[in-house]
Structure 1
Amino acid sequence: MSSQSERLKEARLKAGLSQKQVAEAVGMKQPSYNYLEKNDKGGSAKLPEIAKVLNVDPYWLRTGKTTSDVDADLKKLLENSPVLELDSNGEDPDRIWIDLVNIRFSCGDGESIEFHYDDVLARREIPASIFKKHNVKPENTKLALATGDSQEPYVCNGDEFAIDLSDTEIRDGEFYAVYFEGEAMLKQVFKEQGKKLILHSLNPKYKDKVVSSDNGVGFRVIGRQFYRAG
């Protein structure tokens, strides 16, 4: 598989643009853009904008995969239900244990979506009352980690949060784990006129992201966030 820098250069040449033209289109300095084409580990919050200028899938630009690969990952996530350990044999256990697996969602500028199902970081106990309160089945739950500060003080960097994978229908103002423009994010989602969605950050230093018919082809709702633990 090619590296990010190679894909970036390949897409730029195919688009018939110079480094300077791409850099100016996204508000970067040409040396900063050149760094991205020269360094395999070069990262930038501008990558989704660069992908738009080059008319390529931002997820492909970041990872070398396509949005169909994202769907495959999400399907795998749904099929790999968490390992549950109930501390009693009754139908209404007081304690439910769920694996915290290495699934990370950005509370910042976003990051490539990566699911490491076999990497169990810890086991966490969630009271059965939490599932009852939110009408969530434990078998539909995944625990994930938040990275970044865009949802502070509600969700902070390093916090763990639970996702209901069966709940993907947007309810105005609720928090959802989503995939958008090559990024896995935890965002508060609002509905707007014209079938637009606003991906909102509580931290005012982060701008809202708008999902529309123009850019929402690869948008995916992974699940609703219903529980958090700092």
Structure 2
Amino acid sequence: MSTQSERLKESRLKAGLSQKQVAEAVGMKQPSYAYLEKSAKHGSSHLAEIAKVLNVDPYWLRTGESTEDTDKSLSQIIENSPKITVSSEEEKDERIWIDLVNIRFACGDGESIEFHFDEVLEKRDFPPQFFKKHGVKPENVKLALASGDSQEPYVCTGDVFAIDLADTEIRDNEFYAVYFEGEAMLKQIFKEEGGKLTLHSLNPKYRDKIVSADNGASFRVIGRQFYRAG
């Protein structure tokens, strides 16, 4: 699979644009954009805007996969699961059931913030291969229902996304369910200089949120988002 930097360069050349033209279109400096085409792992909060200028899918630009690919991959995992004739109880044991929850939080004194997942809306079942593919443990996984359009087209209202509660160490350019300033939200996170974090929305009509030493006491990572389904 190609890297993000390779997809950026390929898309820009197909669009017939120079690095300077793309950078100016999204409000970046040309050297900063040039670095994105050189660094395979470097993320940017401008990626959704760049995708729009280059007329490509922002999710594909970031991951190399389309949202359709993600759904197809899960379908293949399910279809390729061993087909064994078993009793209803045994068949139930072949699947792993995960709670679809309403994430709630309670704030105590100072920096005490607790998350609660006891409001279970329903349960959904997955084959064991699903968890192996994503490198997560079923006991650490919760499903949540997306609302709002801040992460369209990657995650839309009504989509179900899965989070790994054990994965709270922020990795640049990944999506996380977080709590910040009284709200639980799903955001793409970029690490910035000075220890700051940018909480980014793919939908350009939403402004980025900045987490710094001044307001960081109200920030918590709930878990890393690793799967979504429409």
TM range (shorter): 0.5 to 0.7
Which whole-Å CA distance do the structure 2 matches of 1:214 and 1:114 have between them?
21
Which whole-Å CA distance do the structure 2 matches of 1:197 and 1:147 have between them?
23
Q: Which residue of 2 aligns with 1:151?
A: 151
The Cα of 1:158 is off from its aligned counterpart by: 1.4
Deviations 1:172-223 (A, max 9, x none): 1110000111111100001001101010000010011111111111210010
Deviations 1:16-35 (A, max 9, x none): xxxxxxxxxxxxxxxxxxxx
Q: What amino acid is the match of 2:180? A: F
Q: What amino acid is the match of 2:175? A: F
Q: What amino acid is the match of 1:179? A: Y
Which whole-Å CA distance do the structure 2 matches of 1:200 and 1:122 have between them?
29
The Cα of 1:131 is off from its aligned counterpart by: 1.0
Which whole-Å CA distance do the structure 2 matches of 1:114 and 1:213 have between them?
21
Q: CA RMSD in A?
A: 2.5
**Contact kept? 1:86, 1:96, Cα under 8 Å:** no
**Contact kept? 1:103, 1:145, Cα under 8 Å:** no
Identity %: 78
Q: Which residue of 1 aligns with 2:26?
A: none
Deviations 1:99-149 (A, max 9, x none): 2122279xxxxxxx9966443222212232221122100000111111100
Q: Which residue of 1 aligns with 2:49?
A: none
Which protein is richer in strand relative to its size?
A: 1
Which whole-Å CA distance do the structure 2 matches of 1:143 and 1:120 have between them?
10
Q: Which residue of 2 aligns with 1:198?
A: 198
In the alignment, does 2:93 pair up with 1:120?
Answer: no
Give 3-state SS (helix, strand or coil) of 1:225's partner. strand
**Contact kept? 1:143, 1:160, Cα under 8 Å:** yes
Q: Which residue of 2 aligns with 1:218?
A: 218
TM-score by length of 2: 0.54
Q: Which residue of 1 aligns with 2:102?
A: 102
In the alignment, does 2:119 pair up with 1:135?
Answer: no
The Cα of 1:98 is off from its aligned counterpart by: 1.1
Give 3-state SS (helix, strand or coil) of 2:206's partner. coil
In the alignment, does 2:165 pair up with 1:188?
Answer: no
Which whole-Å CA distance do the structure 2 matches of 1:146 and 1:114 have between them?
20
Q: What amino acid is the match of 2:188? A: Q
Give 3-state SS (helix, strand or coil) of 2:210's partner. strand
